[in-house]
């Protein structure tokens, strides 16, 4: 069976949206779960409370993914709390949309820091402490492969960068029994991209299934990749996008 019982997981950006669903799903599978957040302490505490009430183990750590030290501290706190480190889900991400003529340098730097640089720092910290059966799962985007609207060039670039990182890390870590993959969602109903929000009218017609994805659907896929039955999947960019890129 694809059991993650007793594993120790860290979900970067786990207080809301896809990350919160991933944290709840991993905990439901028996993993101990640490989540990070930046501003949403109450939301993070609510995720932890739900997991603990259901009989699981969870902690919340304030850690801005733009800070190397904060990420490294979150990895250390996960190990201290749970006595191991098996699963990293690098989910924290930011979305800035603007025509390139108006795209601010601040948004460029923030996107690269949170969506790209943090993926490398977190993977490095995880690789130093993970053993056989370890899992690194990045949350990318279908926009790495298809960018069908204007204003998303920097976001798409940040998610394409995860593909190269994933392929290279798979080569580094395969011999240690650690897999590395990037899960690429299509539009998913979250605060970042609500199904009744301003982007939905353009996006829904591009979806083969005719609807937004749900955070729980991405979480289920991540939980599968985190388990032992997914040991032969590595270096892969894996769509879960309702046919957005089809």
Dihedral (C-alpha) 53, 54, 59, 62: value to the nearest 10 degrees?
Answer: -80
**Angstrom distance (rounded) from CA 101 to CA 125:** 36
Measured in whole angstroms, the distance separating CA 195 from the mean position of its chain's CA atoms is: 20
- One residue of 32, 91, 166, 181 binding ligand NDP per CB under 6 A: 91
| Residue 141 binds ligand NDP, judged by CB under 6 A | yes
Q: Across the strands, what pairs with 181?
A: 137, 236
81 strand-pairing partners:
none
Nearest-angstrom CA–CA distance, 168 and 189? 31
Quick one: tokens of 148? 């069908």
Is the distance from CB of 241 to CB of 142 less than 8 angstroms?
Answer: yes
Based on the shown chain and the rule CB under 6 A, indicate whether residue 82 belongs to the binding site for ligand NDP: no
User: In the annotation, is 224 catalytic?
Assistant: no
Binding letters toward ligand NDP, positions 26-65, x by CB under 6 A: ----------xxxxx--x--------------------xx
Q: How far is the CB of 194 from ligand NDP (least distance, A)?
A: 9
What is the per-residue binding string for ligand NDP in 162-201, x denoting contact by CB under 6 A? -----------------------x-xx-xxxx--------
Catalytic machinery residues: 155
Which residues of the shown chain bind ligand NDP in the complex (CB under 6 A)?
Answer: 12-19, 36-40, 43, 64-66, 91-95, 114, 139, 141, 185, 187-188, 190-193
């Amino acid at each position: 069976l694809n059991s993650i019982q007793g594993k120790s997981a860290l979900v970067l950006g786990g207080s809301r949206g896809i990350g919160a669903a991933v944290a709840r799903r991993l905990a439901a599978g028996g993993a101990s779960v640490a989540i990070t957040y930046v501003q949403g302490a109450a939301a993070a505490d609510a995720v932890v409370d739900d997991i603990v009430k259901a009989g699981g183990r969870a902690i919340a750590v304030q850690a801005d993914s733009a800070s190397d030290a904060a990420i490294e501290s979150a990895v250390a706190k996960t190990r201290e709390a749970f006595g191991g480190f098996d699963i990293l889900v690098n989910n924290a991400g930011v979305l800035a949309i603007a025509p390139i003529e108006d795209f601010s340098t601040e948004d460029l730097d923030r996107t690269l820091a949170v969506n790209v640089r943090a993926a490398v720092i977190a993977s490095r910290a995880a690789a130093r402490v993970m053993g056989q059966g370890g899992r690194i799962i990045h949350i990318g985007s279908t926009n790495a492969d298809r960018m069908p609207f204007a204003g998303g060039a920097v976001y798409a670039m940040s998610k394409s960068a995860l593909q190269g990182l994933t392929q290279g890390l798979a080569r580094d870590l395969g011999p240690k029994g650690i897999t590395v993959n990037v899960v690429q969602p299509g539009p998913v109903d979250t605060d970042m991209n609500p199904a009744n929000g301003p982007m939905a009218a353009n996006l829904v017609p591009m979806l083969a299934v005719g609807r937004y994805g749900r955070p729980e659907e991405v979480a289920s896929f991540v939980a599968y990749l985190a388990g032992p039955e997914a040991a032969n999947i590595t270096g892969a960019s894996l769509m879960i996008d309702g046919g957005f890129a089809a």
